[in-house]
């Protein structure tokens, strides 16, 4: 089922975007309808596309109370604990505004403030992932974003899947609207009578949601479009093949396009894991999906040594990287590109998906070379601060004018010069009453 291959056969090519011209045109039409007709278009499209004939778009507190009552207490308890851990981790990402007053009277700095309003897209129905609600909303809450708006398509009976509402309450969503698809993205970007426009839209969705986000980018900020899940496990012969196989399959079960790769210098481990993957896969509920993923994008790559293994993993730049080796901390510094690294035998990747604390929204498709996990940083914006003193401007003004003139921007130079001239005048006249004019 899972091929054992050489390093040269590892597929590090980026997956190309498919042609989405037809979907793009549909999305443009939907955006136009929302901009022109607001709520009316939302009701109409929700009826047409989600088959839900809504009376109101907003989810009430009572609906959420009801949902909390419907879900298993053990599930709620686990959600609460996960939310606590995720918040505690993201708290450590917070940065203060800083500034630097100097003896020459200058003050430079940087204000770091949360966005005002964020929209989180949550896919609907039973394919909804409560963990996704926590992971997309909690960093915004920790960052201090005061308004956290969730959109999610309703079921045909007009309700929202209860676990999704429960997760929303626990994560601290401030308002929820029963709309999905490109129309929800457009409503968040431009605003309607009911839905306030936001500054940033995050959260996974189907191709229409992804294209809509790209279309509104610039009007609002968006997150990166997530690709299929990826795991790379680097393992030596200290690893437990049962564990390794289980971890590979935990990603493969996501999607036939997901990829699960083992890289190991141990041919013995390679064979054992290959057998375990086949064995365990047949026991899975989602065995068809997992099996297809393993067949199409799974691999066990035998290399000469760990150094080669790390070189290969860096080429792949995986979303998730597990180090199931004897001395993971000694080798950690060799990891160049990965969304998240899991060290040792008791850090199965799903612990990161649900619970440990770090975000599960991670760069895919080789973008770990330059993208980062979702975090507090994505929910703040920075403003530079410059306060120059008269003394400092008199000292530096000529140099600034030299640079401006070199670029032909003489009005830039003039804005310095009028102040230098005035300061000179002030000195000649013995200083003016308004010292800082």
User: Of all helices (H) and strands (E), which one includes residue 377?
Assistant: none
Q: State in angstroms the smallest separation of the CB of 71 from a copy of itself.
A: 8
Q: How far from the centroid of its chain's Cα atoms is residue 286's Cα?
A: 26
Please tell me whether residue 294 binds a copy of itself under the rule CB under 8 A. no
HEC string of 271-308 equals HHHHHHHHHHHCCCCCHHHHHHHHHHHCEEEECCCHHH
Residue 136 annotated as lining a ligand binding site: no
Please tell me whether residue 246 binds a copy of itself under the rule CB under 8 A. yes
Q: State in angstroms the smallest separation of the CB of 350 from a copy of itself.
A: 4
Q: Tell how strand 107-114 and strand 380-387 pair up.
A: antiparallel
Cα distances from 218 to residues 189, 214, 223, 246, 363, in angstroms, run 10, 9, 12, 42, 21
Please tell me whether residue 407 binds a copy of itself under the rule CB under 8 A. yes
Measured from the Cβ of residue 230, the count of other Cβ atoms closer than 10 Å reads: 27
CA separation for the pair 242, 276 (Å, rounded):
6
Q: State in angstroms the smallest separation of the CB of 38 from a copy of itself.
A: 17
Residue 240 annotated as lining a ligand binding site: no
Which residues face 220 on adjacent strands? 217
Please tell me whether residue 223 binds a copy of itself under the rule CB under 8 A. no
Please tell me whether residue 124 binds a copy of itself under the rule CB under 8 A. no
Q: Where are the alpha helices (DSSP H) in 172-286?
A: 181-190, 207-216, 241-252, 267-281
Which residues are identified as catalytic? 319-320
Question: What 3-state DSSP class applies to 436?
Answer: coil
Residue 183 annotated as lining a ligand binding site: yes
Please tell me whether residue 389 binds a copy of itself under the rule CB under 8 A. yes
Q: In the range 51-90, which residues lie near a copy of itself by CB under 8 A?
A: 72, 74-75, 77-79, 81-82, 89
Please tell me whether residue 353 binds a copy of itself under the rule CB under 8 A. yes
Please tell me whether residue 396 binds a copy of itself under the rule CB under 8 A. yes
Please tell me whether residue 310 binds a copy of itself under the rule CB under 8 A. no
Over the window 7 to 46, marking each residue x when it contacts a copy of itself by CB under 8 A and - when it does not, the resulting string is -------x--x-----------------------------
**Binding-site residue ranges for Zn(2+):** 251, 254, 353, 412
Residues making up the annotated binding site for substrate are 229, 251, 254, 320, 353, 407, 412
């Amino acid at each position: 089922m899972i091929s054992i291959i050489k390093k040269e056969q590892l597929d590090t090519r980026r997956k190309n975007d498919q042609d989405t011209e037809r979907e793009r045109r549909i999305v443009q039409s939907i955006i136009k309808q929302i901009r022109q007709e607001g709520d009316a278009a939302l009701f109409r499209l929700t009826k047409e596309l989600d088959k839900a004939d809504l009376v109101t778009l907003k989810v009430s507190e009572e609906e959420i109370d009801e949902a909390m009552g419907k879900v298993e207490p053990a599930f709620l308890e686990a959600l609460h604990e996960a939310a606590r851990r995720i918040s505690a981790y993201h708290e450590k990402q917070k940065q203060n505004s800083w500034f630097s007053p100097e003896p020459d009277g200058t003050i430079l700095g940087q204000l770091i403030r949360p966005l005002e309003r964020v929209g989180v897209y949550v896919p609907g129905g039973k394919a909804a992932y409560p963990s996704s609600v926590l992971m997309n909303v909690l960093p915004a809450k920790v960052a201090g974003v005061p308004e956290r708006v969730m959109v999610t398509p309703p079921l045909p009976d007009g309700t929202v899947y209860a676990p999704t509402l429960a997760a929303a309450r626990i994560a601290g969503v401030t308002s929820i609207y029963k709309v999905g698809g490109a129309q929800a993205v457009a409503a968040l970007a431009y605003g309607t009578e009911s839905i306030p426009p936001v500054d940033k839209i995050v959260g996974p969705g189907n191709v229409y949601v992804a294209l809509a986000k790209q279309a509104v980018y610039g009007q609002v900020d968006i997150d990166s479009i997530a690709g299929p899940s990826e795991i790379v496990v680097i393992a030596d012969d200290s690893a437990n093949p049962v564990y390794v196989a289980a971890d590979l399959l935990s990603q493969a079960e996501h999607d036939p396009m997901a990829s699960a790769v083992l890289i190991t210098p141990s041919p013995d481990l390679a064979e054992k894991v290959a057998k375990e993957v086949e064995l365990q896969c047949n026991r899975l509920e989602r065995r068809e999906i997992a099996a297809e993923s393993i067949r199409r994008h799974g691999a066990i790559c035998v290399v000469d040594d760990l150094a080669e293994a790390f070189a290969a993993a860096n080429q792949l730049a995986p979303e998730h990287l597990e180090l199931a080796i004897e001395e993971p901390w000694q080798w950690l510094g060799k990891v160049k590109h990965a969304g998240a690294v899991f060290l040792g035998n008791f850090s199965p990747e799903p612990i990161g998906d649900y619970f440990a604390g770090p975000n599960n929204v991670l760069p895919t498709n080789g973008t770990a070379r330059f993208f980062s996990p979702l975090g507090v940083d994505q929910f703040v914006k920075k403003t530079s601060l410059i306060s120059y003193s008269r003394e400092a401007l008199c000292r530096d003004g000529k140099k600034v004018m030299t640079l401006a003139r070199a670029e032909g921007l003489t009005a830039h130079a003039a804005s310095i010069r009028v102040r230098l001239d005035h300061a000179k005048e002030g000195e000649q006249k013995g200083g003016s009453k308004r010292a800082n004019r």
